[in-house]
Structure 1
């Protein structure tokens, strides 16, 4: 029985597959996820619960290949799932496991191990390292500075027309940015700007303060002279531009695991390209930024994103939230497309919840 062209809706495609085709496709994918190797019709016929000859299996695999779900890496080899096939499997056929109580306790103990007095970066680094160890992939964590609760701000002149803005968060994190100063700005203006903002920001986010200032220009900014107001505007604008739109602190642990898993690929240049993207961070930050707009765990597979299109990698990511349920970052695992999704999805999901509770 032949297959129709796959529909974009996984449930529709699932209906197009008869029971025999579903079982053969499932076995090919599960073998790939377990071993990374293609499976041939002869071996597959021995694994199936129904009696099918290698020739019958081969015909079904050819149909699945024409449907874009499988491909043959070599002329005489067995079949592997395509990225489209993996997406279909994940969306329509994957049975997500659950963590045991011991696994949950282990995750909590590891993330909480640094103690409540630890800085946010320490907590996130522990989470990234743990995800790497448990998944044998690379653990990645993004934190959004724009949601940091502020404790103190200071302007420090370093040149006649340049100053350093120093922001200290309630969690101990310290961030710096350079801003341009208006020509002829008197030293007292920096002190006034610092004092003015420190009276407004304690225990609040930068976005909150900026929004309030923008809605109360006449009353609040009348307290400042024109030059000081320019410093305040410059400082807030610089920080807002740096932190709006996407998270901007990235922690990656376990990149060596990627090399171990990808070493079997014929073209190690793909591994080098992935490492370069991890170093430059820009593409990964954009990709993980997509994950913070949705609920729960998101899975990105291979060619679905340009970052992974050349390296044969996947990302499982989930947002974590503060006590007010605002998304403040994203964490996840990068690995080969044959990641153990059933195990890693609940692991990433639970870790995100633990981190959210700890930083909330």
Structure 2
């Protein structure tokens, strides 16, 4: 939904400023809209409320429309919330939302990082958010290196070895490298000991220059084959650090909610735009500007507004409160905000705690 009221009010209303009757009717319109996605008429509301006539409800709906909170998509049709109306309703939820014990346990279990690589944890978190929200789950993976605890070279096949890095937070990263054919196992052990000693508690970026200088000045007591293993490992890893990545899972949930071809193309365009590096950076900037959850409804954000979508995004940070990445959910404007807002917030906290 991309509607913006034509007579945008100078003063942005808040729920507390509405009368109790207006609040009740507005809440019921929102509940019905989230259930069906269809315009809500006065007769439907009258039947659900019981004590108010359709005429009385129409008067209240007209007042809410004048405030810019509702609009009529067609003549004589019911009313739908505007983006301002959605924002007003969502802001009222921010302090009410909570998670069940089952949701908390599911998030904790799915995000456990022990013995798993960073890509696996990010993939699982994105898939989990999609499954729990029935929308598209999104994770912006870490854009910076973590201090290392251990590095190891493991023989795979003639001319191939696996580099295994374990961070201080317990995350595991793997890369396959080319090594000299016929390399003895002792060279892999020696390369492991050499780099572990020099990298423990440091990132590859901070230690790489010192190691390269050590190798070039012949201070390193390594044979030629072991030296090649060390150089191959450094080169492979240095080319893959600090890049960041966007993982989106459950796109089908969002595509299934689209009923018109034009909207389908806009949603596809959104996913294409998300793959662009500049959009990745914009997401991180938006997350960094918030201490907690941020909600983008339609045209409030250019990226999501083009597709008529909403997004709930929360940053995750390390123990020094530095931004690492972000998690979120993208869905139609009538996603279950009351459930998704605390879910995204809790997932961000769990991931931040895991990454330390």
Normalised to the residue count of structure 1, the TM-score between the two structures is 0.70
Give, in whole Å, the separation in 2 of the partners of 1:101 and 1:15.
31
Give, in whole Å, the separation in 2 of the partners of 1:76 and 1:328.
50
Aligned to 1:132: 130
- Kindly state the Cα deviation for residue 251 of structure 1 after the two structures are TM-superposed: 0.9
Distance of aligned partners of 1:266 and 1:57 in 2 relative to their CA distance in 1, 3 Å threshold: farther
Aligned to 2:26: 25
Aligned to 2:36: 35
The answer to whether 1:328 aligns with 2:324 is: yes
- Kindly state the Cα deviation for residue 139 of structure 1 after the two structures are TM-superposed: 0.8
Give, in whole Å, the separation in 1 of the partners of 2:197 and 2:67.
63
| 1:43-82 correspondence runs (5 A) | 43-48=44-49, 51-82=51-82
The answer to whether 1:269 aligns with 2:265 is: yes
Distance of aligned partners of 1:322 and 1:94 in 2 relative to their CA distance in 1, 3 Å threshold: closer
Q: What's the RMSD between the two structures over aligned residues?
A: 4.0
- Partner of residue 349 from structure 1, selected from 330, 345, 349: 345
Give, in whole Å, the separation in 1 of the partners of 2:100 and 2:131.
17
Distance of aligned partners of 1:95 and 1:29 in 2 relative to their CA distance in 1, 3 Å threshold: farther
Name the count of aligned residue pairs: 304
Give, in whole Å, the separation in 2 of the partners of 1:27 and 1:339.
16
Q: Which runs of 5+ in 2 are unaligned?
A: 1-6, 152-162, 177-194, 217-233
- Kindly state the Cα deviation for residue 4 of structure 1 after the two structures are TM-superposed: 10
Q: Deviations over 1:151-207 (max 9, x none)?
A: 77xxxxxxxxxxxxx99673343699xxxxxxxxxxxxxxxxxxxx99876423578
Give, in whole Å, the separation in 1 of the partners of 2:261 and 2:40.
17
Aligned to 2:90: 90
Moved more, 307-316 or 102-111: 102-111
Give, in whole Å, the separation in 1 of the partners of 2:215 and 2:107.
50
The answer to whether 1:310 aligns with 2:306 is: yes
Normalised to the residue count of structure 2, the TM-score between the two structures is 0.71
Distance of aligned partners of 1:328 and 1:284 in 2 relative to their CA distance in 1, 3 Å threshold: closer
8 Å contact kept, 1:116–1:358 = no
Distance of aligned partners of 1:141 and 1:175 in 2 relative to their CA distance in 1, 3 Å threshold: farther
The answer to whether 1:121 aligns with 2:119 is: yes
Distance of aligned partners of 1:357 and 1:69 in 2 relative to their CA distance in 1, 3 Å threshold: same
Aligned to 1:99: 99
Aligned to 1:7: 11
Distance of aligned partners of 1:132 and 1:15 in 2 relative to their CA distance in 1, 3 Å threshold: closer
Q: Give the secondary structure class of the aligned counterpart of 1:39.
A: coil
The answer to whether 1:339 aligns with 2:335 is: yes
Give, in whole Å, the separation in 1 of the partners of 2:97 and 2:61.
28
- Kindly state the Cα deviation for residue 129 of structure 1 after the two structures are TM-superposed: 0.6
- Kindly state the Cα deviation for residue 255 of structure 1 after the two structures are TM-superposed: 0.7
8 Å contact kept, 1:146–1:205 = no
Q: Give the secondary structure class of the aligned counterpart of 1:146.
A: coil
- Kindly state the Cα deviation for residue 70 of structure 1 after the two structures are TM-superposed: 1.0
Give, in whole Å, the separation in 1 of the partners of 2:270 and 2:299.
13
Aligned to 1:142: 140
- Partner of residue 259 from structure 1, selected from 247, 255, 258: 255
8 Å contact kept, 2:140–2:280 = no
8 Å contact kept, 1:148–1:169 = no
- Kindly state the Cα deviation for residue 305 of structure 1 after the two structures are TM-superposed: 0.5
Give, in whole Å, the separation in 2 of the partners of 1:6 and 1:261.
33
